[in-house]
Each structure stands twice: as structure tokens, then as C-alpha cells.
């Protein structure tokens, strides 16, 4: 059993949980994820690790209330327990001295990207972070992002937003490359936003990586639910990723459809509106 | 218990043995019933049936059946006790050679192992050894569980077993019985490996598996779930705390067809389809939270036991039509004959000499058909089976809305990739010697991680050999 050490509500639908799991905290790296099961009849659900404390033995992650399991998680209180908690799974994010790195985040990425940005900063990179949210109420974690970024841009869109809101600052920057070169773009955002970014930079010679969050079952390479078509052959997000070179991913439309396979069952709540991409 | 049947069973008179040619059938749920439930198909012998079948054994001097068993169960010994009505004694003999009789009795291919070597098989009616084994295991369970044998005093030696499938459970039990401290690590949330996620409830009830896992735990084995070796602890970290390691991590990485459209929605690997259904109990959704999306016309690609399991799960999940698509002919199918017959009885259609060439989408990235090509058999290939060759111009479309790809699996590369000094083959299997010893000091391996994919019992046989070698190593450390 894994104890809930802390539960903080960040926006009306976004929560942060802190779980006591020393063996996970001991090995956690930026960009990795955990899988949890609420009780013996629960499903296995993956979440990107947003922070950890090796000494205290705790692991943090942020989740959006969008389905049956996450709605139940929203009611968890300090002292409650999770039946199962396994991780850190997946490969750590690629961290190196790249130069000027642009980080694009939306949804859970506002939290999940923080450890990556922090480590990139420590490596001496210059960081521009672009935050995307549907409205001001949905923004969270600004302070943490600001702390490790040299420059923080915020894209807030109206109903549904549309990728254009976050893409606008990025597109402006791409037009201005002569004055302000860009060495790398990395995104942890809705799948449609990541797709737009991939297309925007495809022919510009800027290395672009995306952090995928597909449907998973076991999360250890066994089931292939999280597979994607890749220039190097079929890849599994759980063991080959979750970070991928955005320009090596093929068939984004199929990926987007796969992301929503179980949307009606466990991802989306009734009334959820699809704005071209149901993950928006 | 009456003994009217004695006259026609084994009687030794004037050195001549009369043989009972009536092999006892095992009762099964009727196909029309079992199509609609996940309960066990074969319901097992009654006491009377088991005793009667046991009396067919003629207690040969030369024990060919034992040679046919990968873990060398002394079959005539447990059967002779059954013949004397001594069920507890029979169960004790059985448990000396296997800690998992309820599992072996159900999923071993006895027809190609012990029963194929049975003297009575010359007449085509071998003693139903597997059914007797299963009966004894179930009987013992009904008596409140297996008796715990006397444990050897602790040797003070520690062994880490990685993976809790058939090979891991066998090594753990064997070494615990010999007095070693065993910790077993499992990446999933429940022990049993393929016995839990792969083999369906109607062939191997999960309560039976958990009962046998509990038995292994009662022998003193510590089970650590949700713990991934290669991540939570590296092999070298484990070796700091343990005297020896056994790797039984199986072959979990599914193969795909590598054809266009393979990632459309409702195209599953057999591993995903079966894991959702068996391990996560999607057939009881929404009581269990994991859903499984399946249409009405299901095509299963492949001809092995896993393909049969997938097809039969699809039947029970309510598919209207279930097809098995196999690129060779019936004769080359690797699935057990019994499972093929069961599937046919349940209405599964078999399409032989057919291979998929592309998935067809419905415009919204859901599969709605599969383009196939007919095959003919050419010269034998490396496996000795005739190689299927496409027939030009024979393409046609199979209408389907759910595809389960069941082509086989390869070893999960996690441990190999995080353990540079562990020698692996091109196929990703761990290279071992005849005792299951790997290239890395103090590390042994067995099961699908060395074979690339075989049976539960062969994994247990390899585990038995490795356990013997590990024990030999451990007792010699101090000398």
C-alpha cells in the first residue's frame, strides 16, 4: 500500500498528489512516469512524475480530472492509500547542454516538464518556456516554471483555445531565428499541439522532441497499447519513450485516434468538447 | 467407494496384464453454455472417476512416463497411492516434484509429454496423467490447502528471483525447500506472470494460480510486487544483497505484422487483448475499471495457443463472429489439438493458408477490414515446416472490426539493456549453459527468457535445473 502524503487542488480540475514510495523516489529522473492502481479492481493508469524527494521518499504527480479513475483520485485525502504504485518507468528525458531550449507545455505538462526544465537549466541552457491553457483559471505552476526559465510566455485561448494560441509565440520566435537562434524545442502538451509544433519545425532543422502520453496497460513493454509508427520501426512509448524525436513520428492522425480509443469510457467525462483534437 | 469395475481394470494374473482400454473422459461445460461465461471449461474428474482412471495404470517397471515429464514427477508412485485410495499420500508424492500441480495438470501438453510415453498409448489410450494430477491438486485444495512440508533449516544464503511466472515460482519453491532465503520480485501488481495475464480464466482459474502462489509464499518465499528489476534496483545492486539471482522474466514483448494500418484502433496485440481480459478482468467491466473495446467480427491472426486463447476470449466477450487467420495449414498449427477442438466447438472459424497484407480503416482510424492474400505451402523452412508462399493475385478483404495479432513474443530487453555484462543472443534471449548459468557471475536464468517462448512446463523444467545448480553453488560457497 502506498500512502497519500499530500493532496493539493491546483485549479478546478487539476490536482497534485504526493505519494510515499521510497523505492520510486530513489530512482526517479526527469521525464519518467509512474503507474498506479487505486484498488484491487482498479485500472492501471500512467502519470508523469512532476517532483520527488529522495530523502522523504515521496513522489509527486499532477492529474486532470477527466474520467472515472481520476474523479475518484480527486477525492483522495491525506492518509488514504493506493493499492499499487510502480515506477519510475520509461526513459529519462534527454538532458544536455543544447544552448537555447524552447519548452512548450499544456495540461499536465505544466507540472511534468518542471523537472526537465530545472535540469536543463542546471546544465547551462537558456530556457524559453511557453505555457498554454484554455483560460486564466486553468493556469497553474507559473512560479515553478518562471523560476527555472529565462523567459516565460503565456498563451491563453478562449473556449477550447485551439493550438494557435500557444503556437503564436512559437511562430513569432521561428520568424526571428536570425536574431534569436533556437537549438531545441521540447513539448509536453496535448497531442494536437505537439503535432502542430512538429509540423511547424519539420523543415527548419530544429531538433524537436515531444513527450507522449498514450493509452497504456502494463507500462513495461508487454502489451503494445502505447505503440506508435516511427521512422525506426514500431516503438512503444513506455519503454522506447515517452520522449521522441517529433520528426521521426509517423501517422500522427492514427496516434490521435488511438489516444481516444477509450475516451468515452475512461478519459473524457460527459459533455467534454472535442476541438478538432479530443485531447485539447 | 465401490469396486465393481475392478474386474475390467488392471489385474495381474499368471504374469499377464489385462489392460483397461476405456480412458475416462473429463466432464466439460457444453459449448453452447460455456460460450457465455468465463468459468472453467473442463470441470474435472469426480472422486470415482479419478480412482477408476488411476487403476488403468499398470505400474510399468520401466518408467517411460517419468522421462516424458520435464520435471520428472514420479508418476507411477503417485498413481499407485491413488489406486490404494490414499489421496493424501498421492498428493504428497506429487508435491515432492512440483509445487504447482494445479497449474501443470491444466496447462501442460501431456499428450506430447508423459502421456505420449505411457505404455497404454501404444493402444492410443494413455492413462490420463494430467487429469489425475489436476484432480489431486484440486482435492488437496478442497481439504483446506496443501500441507507444508518440513522445511530444511536455514542455510543463511539469500537468493533473488526475478519474475514470478512458472519458472520463478518453481525456482523459489525449490530453493526455499532447501533452506535458502528467497525474495521474489514482480513488476506487475500480482504474481503469476503469464499464468495471470496470458492464460484465460476458463482454462486456468486465477484462484488456482493464487492458491499455488500462496503455497510458495508459505514455504517462506517473500514476494515483492510492483518492483521492476533493471529500474528500482539494477542487477549489480541486487548482487550486493544476494548470493545468487535467478532471472525468469519471460518473453513479454509482442511482435506485430509490420503492415499498413496496423496501429488503427481496435487492432490489438494478443498480449494487450488478453491482459485487459484476464489480468485486469475487463470482462467484468465496469465492476473492474479496465475496459476492453471489441467489435462484433473479430479476426485473430496466428495459430498458436495464445491465438486460441484470444479467439475464445472474444467469443465470451460477445463477438458474433470470431475468425482465426493462419498462414499455414491445420497440420502446421502450433496450438494444442484440444484447444483447437474447443475453439471449433465454440464456433470459432478457421481460415487456413491466409495472411494479412494490410488493415483497412473506416476513415476515422478504426479498423473495418483486413486485406488478405492466400498462401500455398512451399519448401520446408528453418523450423522444418513448409514455408507459406503468397499466391499472386489472390488478395481479398476480410470484413472485421477487431483484430488481435498473435504472432509471438520476444524477451523484454529491460534487464539485458541495463546489465552490460550479461550475454544475450541476437533474438534477445539470455545465453546460458546446460545448467541455466548465464555469462554473469552468480546469475542463472530459465523459462522464456532463455528459450524465447515455449511452454509453462518447459520453463519449470529449466527452472528445476537452475535451482539444482544454484543450490550446489550456495552450499559450496563456504568451502
Residues A68 and A190 in one domain: no
B303 domain-assigned = yes
Does residue A151 sit in the same domain as residue A218? Answer: yes
Strand partners, A19: A4, A59
- Judge whether B166 lies within some domain: yes
Same domain, B276 and B227: no
Residues in A closer than 8 angstroms to B266, CB to CB, are 261
Nearest CA in chain B to A88: B231
Domain of residue A40 covers 2-89
Q: What is the 3-state secondary structure (H, E, C) of chain B?
A: CCCHHHHHCCCEECCEECCCCCCCCCCECCHHHHCCCCCCCECCCCHHHHHHHHCCCCCCCCCHHHHCCCCCCCHHHHHHHHHCCCHHHHHHHHHHHCCCHHHHHHHCCHHHCHHHHCHHHHHCCCCCHHHHHHHHHHHHHHCCCCCCCCCCCCCCCEEEEECCCHHHHHHHHHHHHCCCEEEEECCCCCCCCHHHHCCCCCCCCHHHHHHHHHHHHHCCCEEECCCCECCCECHHHHHHHCCEEEECCCCCEECCCCCCCCCCECEEEHHHHHHHHHHCCHHHCCCCCCCCCCCCEEEEECCCHHHHHHHHHHHHCCCCEEEEECCCCHHHCCCCHHHHHHHHHCCCEEECCEEEEEEEECCCCEEEEEEEEEEEEEEECCCCCEEEEECCCCCEEEECCEEEECCCEECCCHHHHHCCCCCECCCCCECECCCCEECCCCEEECCHHHHCCCCHHHHHHHHHHHHHHHHHHHHHCCC
| CB contact (8 A) between residue B228 and residue A89 | yes
Q: Is residue B148 part of a domain?
A: no
- Per the listing, cell 496447462 goes with B107
Are both A51 and A161 inside the same structural domain? no
User: Which residues from chain A sit within 8 angstroms of residue B253, using beta carbons?
Assistant: 221-222
A-chain CB neighbours of B232 within 8 Å are 23-24, 26-27
CA distance A3 to chain B (A): 15
Q: State whether A85 and A111 are in the same domain.
A: no
Whether residue B66 is contained in a domain is answered as yes
Going by C-beta distance under 8 Å and a sequence separation of 6 or more, which residues neighbour residue B429? B251, B411, B449, B450, B451, B452
pLDDT in tens, B182-191: 999 999 999 9
Does residue A62 share a domain with residue A115?
Answer: no
Domain boundary at A37, A65, A89, which? A89
| Contact residues, A window 37-56, toward B, CB-based 8 Å cutoff | 37-38, 41-44
Give the nearest partner residue to B263 out of A26, A68, A228, using CB atoms. Answer: A228
* One domain, residues A165 and A132: yes
Same domain, B310 and B387: yes
CA angle B440–B444–B449, rounded 5-degree value: 100
What is the ipTM, given to two decimal places?
0.91
Q: Which of B365, B392, B408 is the last residue of a domain?
A: B408
Residues A70 and A110 in one domain: no
pLDDT at position B478 is 74
The answer as to whether A272 is a domain residue is no
Residue of A nearest to B288 (CA): A41
In terms of CA atoms, which chain A residue is nearest residue B270?
A: A223
Which positions in chain A touch B287 (Cβ < 8 Å)? 41
Give the pLDDT score at A48: 97
For residue A56, what is the domain's CATH number? 2.40.30.10
CATH of the domain at A207: 3.40.50.80
Is A236 in a helix, a strand, or coil?
strand
**Residues A59 and A111 reside in one and the same domain:** no
What is the nearest CA distance from B471 to chain A, expressed in angstroms?
A: 30
Note the pLDDT of residue B452.
87
Residue B468 lies in a domain: yes
Is residue B26 located within the same domain as residue B126?
A: yes
pLDDT at A273: 46
Other CB atoms within 10 Å distance of the CB of residue A16: 18
Cross-chain CB nearest to A220 (options B187, B276, B287): B187
Q: What whole-number distance in Å separates Cα of residue A71 and Cα of residue A15?
A: 10
Domain membership of residue A254 (yes or no) is: yes
| Residue B15 resides in a domain | yes
- Considering the domain architecture, whether residues A235 and A138 belong to the same structural domain is answered as yes
| Mutation target vs A (from B234, B295, B365; most A CBs, 10 A cutoff) | B365
| Cα Dmax for chain A | 56
The answer to whether B245 and B281 are in contact (CB under 8 A) is no
Residue A149 lies in a domain: yes
Query: Does any domain span residue A9?
Result: yes
Nine-digit cell string for A72 = 475518484
In chain A, which stretches have pLDDT less than 50?
Answer: 158-161, 265-274, 276-280
Boundary-marking domain end, from A65, A89, A113: A89
**Statement to judge: residues B138 and B54 lie in one domain:** yes
Same domain, A54 and A110: no
Shared domain check, A242 and A124: yes
How many CB atoms sit inside 10 A of residue B74's CB? 16
Domain's final residue, options A89, A109, A138: A89
Residue A129 contacts by C-beta under 8 Å, 6 or more apart in sequence? A102, A103, A104, A105, A113, A117, A145, A149, A151, A152, A153
Residues B403 and B282 in one domain: yes
Q: What is the CATH number of the domain that holds B226?
A: 3.50.50.60
Q: Which residues of chain B have pLDDT under 50?
A: 1-13
- End-to-end alpha-carbon separation of chain A, Å? 34
Q: How many domains does chain A have?
A: 2
Is B310 within a domain? yes
For residue B460, the enclosing domain spans: 158-252+411-476
The CA radius of gyration of chain B, in Å to the nearest whole number, is 23
The CA distance from A241 to A227, in Å, is 10
Identify whether A278 is part of a domain: no
Partner-chain residue, chosen from B187, B232, B265, that has the shortest CB–CB distance to A23: B232
Is A225 a member of any domain? yes
User: What backbone phi and psi angles, to 5 degrees, belong to B315?
Assistant: -55, -50
Instruction: Indicate whether B150 belongs to any domain.
Output: no
Q: pLDDT value at position B17?
A: 67
Q: Is residue A95 part of a domain?
A: no
The answer on A203 and A158 residing in a single domain is: yes
- Residues with Cβ within 8 Å of B350's Cβ and at least 6 positions away in sequence, in order, are B323, B324, B326, B330, B340, B344
Read off the DSSP letter of residue A95.
-
Same domain as B381, residue B268? yes
Tell me which chain A residue has its CA closest to the CA of residue B227. Answer: A86
| CATH code (residue B72) | 1.10.1060.10
Shared domain check, B82 and B69: yes
Confidence (pLDDT) at B298: 98
Chain centre to alpha carbon of residue B266: 26
Name the residue with cell 539494477: B234
Amino acid at each position: 500500500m502506498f500512502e497519500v502524503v499530500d493532496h493539493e487542488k491546483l485549479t478546478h480540475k487539476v490536482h497534485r498528489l504526493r505519494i510515499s514510495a521510497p523505492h520510486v523516489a530513489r530512482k526517479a529522473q526527469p521525464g519518467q512516469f509512474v503507474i498506479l492502481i487505486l484498488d484491487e479492481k482498479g485500472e492501471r493508469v500512467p502519470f508523469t512524475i512532476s517532483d520527488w524527494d529522495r530523502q522523504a521518499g515521496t513522489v509527486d504527480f499532477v492529474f486532470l480530472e477527466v474520467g472515472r479513475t481520476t474523479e475518484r483520485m480527486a477525492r483522495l485525502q491525506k492518509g488514504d492509500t493506493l493499492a499499487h504504485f510502480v515506477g519510475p518507468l520509461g526513459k529519462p528525458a534527454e538532458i544536455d547542454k543544447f544552448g537555447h531550449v524552447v519548452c512548450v507545455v499544456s495540461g499536465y505538462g505544466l507540472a511534468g516538464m518542471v523537472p526537465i526544465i530545472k535540469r536543463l537549466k542546471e546544465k547551462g541552457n537558456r530556457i524559453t518556456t511557453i505555457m498554454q491553457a484554455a483560460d486564466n483559471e486553468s493556469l497553474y505552476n507559473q512560479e515553478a516554471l518562471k523560476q527555472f526559465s529565462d523567459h516565460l510566455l503565456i498563451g491563453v485561448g478562449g473556449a477550447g483555445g485551439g493550438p494557435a494560441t500557444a503556437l503564436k509565440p512559437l511562430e513569432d520566435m521561428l520568424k526571428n531565428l536570425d536574431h534569436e537562434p533556437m537549438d531545441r524545442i521540447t513539448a509536453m502538451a496535448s497531442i494536437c499541439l505537439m503535432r502542430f509544433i512538429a509540423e511547424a519545425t519539420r523543415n527548419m532543422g530544429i531538433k524537436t522532441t515531444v513527450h507522449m502520453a498514450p493509452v497504456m496497460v502494463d507500462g513495461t513493454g508487454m502489451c503494445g497499447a502505447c505503440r506508435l509508427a516511427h521512422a525506426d520501426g514500431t516503438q512503444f512509448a513506455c519503454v522506447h519513450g515517452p520522449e521522441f524525436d517529433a520528426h521521426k513520428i509517423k501517422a500522427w492522425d492514427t496516434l490521435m485516434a488511438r489516444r481516444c480509443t477509450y475516451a468515452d469510457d475512461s478519459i473524457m467525462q460527459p459533455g467534454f468538447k472535442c476541438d478538432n483534437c479530443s485531447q485539447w | 467407494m465401490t469396486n465393481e469395475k475392478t474386474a475390467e481394470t488392471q489385474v495381474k494374473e499368471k504374469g499377464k496384464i489385462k489392460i483397461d482400454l476405456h480412458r475416462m473422459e473429463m466432464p466439460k461445460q457444453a459449448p453452447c453454455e460455456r460460450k457465455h461465461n468465463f468459468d472453467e471449461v473442463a470441470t474435472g474428474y469426480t472422486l470415482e472417476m479419478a480412482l477408476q482412471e488411476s487403476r488403468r495404470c499398470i505400474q510399468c517397471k520401466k518408467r517411460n512416463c517419468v522421462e516424458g515429464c520435464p520435471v520428472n514427477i514420479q508418476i507411477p508412485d503417485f498413481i499407485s497411492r491413488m489406486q490404494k485410495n490414499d489421496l493424501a499420500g498421492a498428493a504428497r508424492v506429487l508435491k515432492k516434484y512440483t509445487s504447482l500441480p494445479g497449474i501443470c495438470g491444466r496447462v501442460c501438453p501431456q499428450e506430447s509429454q508423459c502421456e505420449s510415453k505411457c505404455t497404454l498409448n501404444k493402444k492410443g489410450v494413455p492413462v490420463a496423467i494430467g487429469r489425475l494430477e489436476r484432480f489431486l491438486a484440486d482435492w488437496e485444495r478442497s481439504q483446506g490447502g496443501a500441507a507444508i512440508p518440513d522445511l530444511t533449516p536455514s542455510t543463511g544464503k539469500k537468493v533473488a528471483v526475478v519474475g514470478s511466472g512458472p519458472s520463478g515460482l518453481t525456482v523459489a519453491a525449490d530453493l526455499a525447500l532447501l533452506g535458502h532465503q528467497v525474495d521474489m520480485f514482480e513488476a506487475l501488481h500480482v504474481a503469476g506472470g503469464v499464468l495471470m495475464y496470458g492464460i484465460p480464466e476458463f482454462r486456468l482459474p486465477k484462484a488456482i494460480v493464487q492458491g499455488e502462489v500462496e503455497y510458495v509464499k508459505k514455504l517462506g518465499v517473500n514476494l515483492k510486487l510492483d518492483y521492476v528489476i533493471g529500474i528500482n534496483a539494477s542487477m549489480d545492486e541486487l548482487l550486493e544483497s544476494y548470493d545468487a539471482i535467478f532471472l525468469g522474466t519471460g518473453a513479454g514483448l509482442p511482435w506485430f505484422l509490420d503492415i499498413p494500418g496496423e496501429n488503427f484502433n481496435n487492432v490489438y496485440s494478443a498480449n494487450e487483448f488478453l491482459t485487459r481480459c484476464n489480468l485486469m478482468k475487463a470482462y467484468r467491466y465496469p465492476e473492474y475499471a479496465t475496459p476492453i473495446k471489441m467489435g462484433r467480427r473479430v479476426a485473430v491472426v496466428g495459430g498458436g495457443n495464445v491465438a486460441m486463447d484470444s479467439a475464445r476470449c472474444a467469443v465470451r466477450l460477445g463477438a458474433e463472429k470470431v475468425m482465426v487467420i493462419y498462414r499455414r495449414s491445420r497440420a502446421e498449427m502450433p496450438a494444442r489439438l484440444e484447444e483447437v477442438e474447443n475453439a471449433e466447438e465454440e464456433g470459432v472459424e478457421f481460415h487456413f493458408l491466409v495472411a494479412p497484407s494490410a488493415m483497412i480503416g473506416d476513415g476515422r482510424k478504426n479498423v473495418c477490414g483486413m486485406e488478405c492474400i492466400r498462401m500455398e505451402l512451399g519448401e520446408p523452412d528453418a523450423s522444418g515446416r513448409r514455408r507459406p508462399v503468397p499466391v499472386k493475385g489472390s488478395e481479398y478483404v476480410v470484413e472485421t472490426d477487431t483484430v488481435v495479432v498473435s504472432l509471438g513474443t520476444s524477451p523484454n530487453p529491460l534487464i539485458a539493456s541495463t546489465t552490460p555484462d550479461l550475454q544475450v543472443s541476437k533474438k534477445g534471449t539470455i545465453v546460458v549453459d546446460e545448467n541455466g548459468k548465464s555469462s554473469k557471475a552468480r546469475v542463472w536464468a530459465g523459462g522464456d527468457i532463455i528459450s524465447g517462448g515455449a511452454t509453462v512446463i518447459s520453463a519449470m523444467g529449466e527452472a528445476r535445473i537452475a535451482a539444482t545448480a544454484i543450490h550446489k553453488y550456495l552450499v559450496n560457497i563456504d568451502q
